[in-house]
Amino acid sequence: MNILITGGAGFIGSHVVRLFVNKYPEYQIVNLDVLTYAGNLENLRDIENKPNYHFERVDITDYDGVLGVMRKYDIDGVIHLAAESHVDRSIKDPMAFARTNVMGTLTMLNAAKTYWDSKLESNKAQAIGLGTEKYPGKRFYHISTDEVYGALEMGGGFFTEQTKYQPHSPYSASKASSDHFVRAFHDTYELPTIVTNCSNNYGPYQFPEKLIPLFINNIRHGKPLPVYGKGENVRDWLYVEDHARAIDLIFHKGKIADTYNIGGFNEWRNIDLIKVIIKTVDKLLGNPEGHSEHLITYVTDRAGHDLRYAIDSTKLKNELGWEPSLQFEEGIEKTVRWYLDNQEWMDRITSGEYEKYYESMYANR
Ligand code: NAD
Ligand code: TYD
């Protein structure tokens, strides 16, 4: 198979690319990424010279560019992760989210359809049995978020695959819209699509605008930890490699036109999670317990801040046998250790040079 992974230079995408390149030497893996502020090819240094890995710097809203890559590598499967992914940025600049997440996904769908239509005669069912009758051997897998379901009350159950979409932020609204387009392409054109909705990921290579890497880095520098509101919002955290394993399984074994929720049944109130992070960083830096707790700083709440997310991933467990492999305490210690051991990676991102680079990227759009 020849597989196109979009957003492969980002946080989750880099873990998916690494898994596929290492696990499937017989596949060609193409990473399509335009390298926004969140895309960093350093995330893939360990696999960039493998013969089955290819990189193409293309914007997902560039139809000709995407189609050209699909033709060049004779793509059979798409795993679509490229997106604007940060809620706070979506509040400041919602248009960028509509452009990339909505128009970009629609462009990806259109390009895949056009390319696979051009090959209808030669489309042959592949041994691993993917695809629909019209597009045998093909698959378009869209990675989405649990945030499309809206917010839950404390103790108010879980998001299941039947939960109604009720997005609140411009980010989640744009992801919800893209999910609808993906499903529409199956229902209208028989494109062999799959959608998964995952809870909050954590682990190595996450851009330090998100809670966990931002706070680890701030503790290291003795900088304030800005806790939104009262810190009582709840998120359901999954180790990123467990998400990548789920993506591998669902890409190969998931049912066409179906939806799977992915999550670890691992809910934490922000303030409790922050205290675990502080404790772990202090322990690994050799500081006395409680040393960095004074950095906690309560700040104005995020606008429209969703109270609680919690995913029910029973369907994925029952149908495909997936379960998270890491206990949270183990995952968070591994994560903190990784950021402390890879300070150069973090420093290059947080340096003024990097900021200038991404500002210029945005200025060009
Ligand atoms: P990220 O922000 O770390 O990476 C996004 C990547 O997409 C970057 O490499 C960026 O350069 C690329 N990109 C952005 N716009 C592009 C464009 N127009 N053309 C080509 N490439 C572009 O994001 P992430 O946290 O790794 O999330 C990946 C996907 O998973 C997203 O679709 C996100 O909605 C979804 N998701 C994320 C989480 C999470 O906790 N991070 C949870 C569930 C779902
Ligand atoms: P984030 O990592 O941005 O993920 P998401 O908004 O997609 O869930 O934030 C996780 C939680 O942490 C969320 O409830 C907002 C909160 N938060 C803070 O309290 N302070 C911060 O500086 C950040 C970035 C997030």
CA distances from 322 to 245, 271, 319 (A): 8, 29, 8
Q: In terms of CATH, what superfamily is 2-362?
A: NAD(P)-binding Rossmann-like Domain (3.40.50.720)
Coil/strand/helix, residue 199? coil
- The pLDDT assigned to 149 comes to 98
Sheet hosting strand 267-269, strand order edge to edge:
200-202, 234-239, 267-269
Structure tokens at 228: 């939104």
**Ligand 1 atom at minimum distance from 146 CA:** 43
Ligand 2 centre distance from Cα of residue 173 (Å): 17
| Pocket perturbation via mutation, ligand 2, pick of 101, 168, 209, 228 by most ligand atoms within 8 A of CB | 228
Could you say which DSSP state residue 239 is in?
Answer: E
pTM above 0.85, yes or no: yes
Please, what are the averages of pLDDT over each run of 10 residues along the chain (365 residues)? 98 98 98 97 97 98 98 98 98 98 98 95 63 91 98 95 98 98 98 98 98 98 97 98 98 97 96 98 97 98 97 98 94 98 95 56 45
Dihedral sign for Cα 138, 144, 149, 152, please: positive
222 within 8 A of 157, measured Cβ to Cβ:
no
The residues lining ligand 1, judged by C-beta closer than 6 Å to any ligand atom, are 7, 9-13, 33-36, 38-39, 59-61, 81-85, 100, 104, 143, 145, 175, 198, 200-201, 207
- The pLDDT assigned to 277 comes to 98
The residues lining ligand 2, judged by C-beta closer than 6 Å to any ligand atom, are 87, 200, 210-211, 214, 226-228, 233, 235, 270, 302
- The pLDDT assigned to 132 comes to 80
Active-site annotation, residues: 146-147, 171
Would you tell me how many other CB atoms lie within 10 Å of the CB of residue 362? 11
Ligand 1 centre distance from Cα of residue 286 (Å): 34
Cβ-Cβ contacts under 8 Å for 53 (sequence gap 6 or more):
17, 21, 29, 31, 44, 47
Q: For residues 207 and 201, give the distance between their C-alpha atoms in angstroms, rounded to a whole number.
A: 12
Measured from the alpha carbon of residue 168, the closest ligand is: 2
CA distances from 232 to 153, 268, 272 (A): 12, 9, 9
- The pLDDT assigned to 139 comes to 97
Tokens 């991404």 locate to 358
Ligand 1 centre distance from Cα of residue 349 (Å): 16
Q: For residues 56 and 114, give the distance between their C-alpha atoms in angstroms, rounded to a whole number.
A: 19
Using N-to-C axis directions, what is the helix angle for 270-285 and 328-341, rounded to 10°? Answer: 50
* C-alpha atoms less than 13 angstroms from C-alpha of 223 in its C-beta half-sphere: 8
Structure tokens at 303: 């606008």
Ligand 2 centre distance from Cα of residue 354 (Å): 22
